[in-house]
Amino acid sequence: MTIDVLYVRPGGSGWGPVDVLARLAARLLEGRLVEVEDRGAASWAQRASVLLPRGRRARGRRLLVLAGNPAALALAARRDLWWPGHESTAAWIVDSFWTDRIAGIARHRPHFDRLFVTDPDLVDEWSALTGRPVDALPWGSDTLAVAADDGPRPVDLLRLGRQPEAWDDDARTAREAQDRGLVFQGRPPSSPDPLQNQEAVRTALAQARLVLAFSNLVSPAPYTHPTRDYLTGRWTDALAAGCRVAGVAPRSAATLLWPEATLEVSPDSRADAWPVLAEAAAAWTPERAAEQRRRARRELDWRLRLQRLCTAMGWPLPPTLDAELAALG
């Protein structure tokens, strides 16, 4: 069996977790990683390819397309991948909430045998729009890349990602934290390289007790969905590192995470939020951090998502993936 992993790589430096997933998937599935830059609109030839038949189903060849958003699926139309063809094909869409942007190649066409989305609540909608079998593979984390460190953590509160207006001033947050005997750290240093960014985030998370992160519905940006919120690597990577995530969690956290994973604090009133944050920081212990890591390994690791993908596709588990699943404990 041979597997091609086609990663339609989004632009921007904030896609480090998905870059990690693409490389991890290729290694664990013992496949070949092919990267295509997402430069926006597909070419006319790629758009026209939706009209072509799928082509010969070459026995023993599998294809997994990993796309940052639904429109990027159009960029998967590559002659060197679709001919001589694949016996079975799958697509995993990360920002699957943009259901109005699903590329034509995935709408009632034979090119993908099964689609996977990150939001379980959107499975039925995707199925209706595409006419294909659809399953959920939510966000995860590479938990085995996190060192088991049960030592002290000098940072009480770490900012990660966008914040609501009330929390967007890091200097003010640092002063108010200091007034309460707490240590605050602003967002980790940024690099144009997504993988370097991801490493900086991991380093910062290893030092933190709490992470401050908010749903996109209370910390909107031009590139976020205006009505749908969603769980991302800010939550899963923080939990894999043993942190608790304070802020406003996406609605899906109620079913995808456990009660101690998150802590609700006001996105508008800092005065109301600080007592809650101070109490949680004081209650932190190395044992609680270790339990967060254990839960993340059992429930959030990318390897579990890849295992589910293989099962749904009828693909045998490669020995590398099988061995590392055992390492999760």
> Across residues 40-51, what is the average pLDDT?
69
CB neighbour class for 275 (10 Å; exposed up to 12, middle 13-18, buried from 19)? exposed
Which pLDDT belongs to residue 319?
Answer: 97
Q: Tell me, which fold does domain 2-139+302-327 have in CATH?
A: Rossmann fold (3.40.50)
Q: pLDDT tens for residues 156-178?
A: 999 999 999 999 999 999 999 99
Between 92 and 39, name the one with better pLDDT.
92
Pair 214, 265: CB distance under 8 Å:
no
Tell me, yes or no, if the two domains 2-139+302-327 and 143-298 fold the same way.
yes
Q: What is the pLDDT of residues 190-206, one digit of tens each?
A: 888 899 999 999 999 99
Q: For 78-89, what is each residue's pLDDT tens digit?
A: 666 666 678 999
Q: What value does the mean pLDDT take over residues 304-322?
A: 97
Q: Which residues contact 22 (CB under 8 A, 6 or more apart)?
A: 5, 7, 9, 33, 35, 66
Has domain 143-298 been given CATH number 3.40.50.2000?
Answer: yes
Q: Comparing C-alpha atoms, which of 288, 319, 321 is closest to residue 302?
A: 321
For 175, 206, 281, the CA distances from 284, given in Å and listed in that order, are: 21, 14, 5
Please state, in angstroms and as integers, the Cα–Cα distance from residue 191 to each residue in 14, 188, 196, 200, 221, following that order: 9, 10, 6, 9, 20
Q: How confident is the model at residue 37 (pLDDT cuts 50, 70, 90)?
A: confident
pLDDT at 165: 96
**pLDDT tens by residue, 259-286:** 999 999 999 999 999 999 999 999 999 9
- Residue 46 confidence (pLDDT) above 80: no
Q: What is the distance in angstroms between the CA of the first residue and the CA of the last residue of the chain? A: 27
Mean of the per-residue pLDDT values of the chain: 93
> Which one, of 31, 27, 42, lies nearest residue 5 by Cα?
31
Residue boundaries of the structural domains of the chain: 2-139+302-327, 143-298
Flag whether pLDDT at 45 surpasses 80. Answer: no
pTM: 0.94
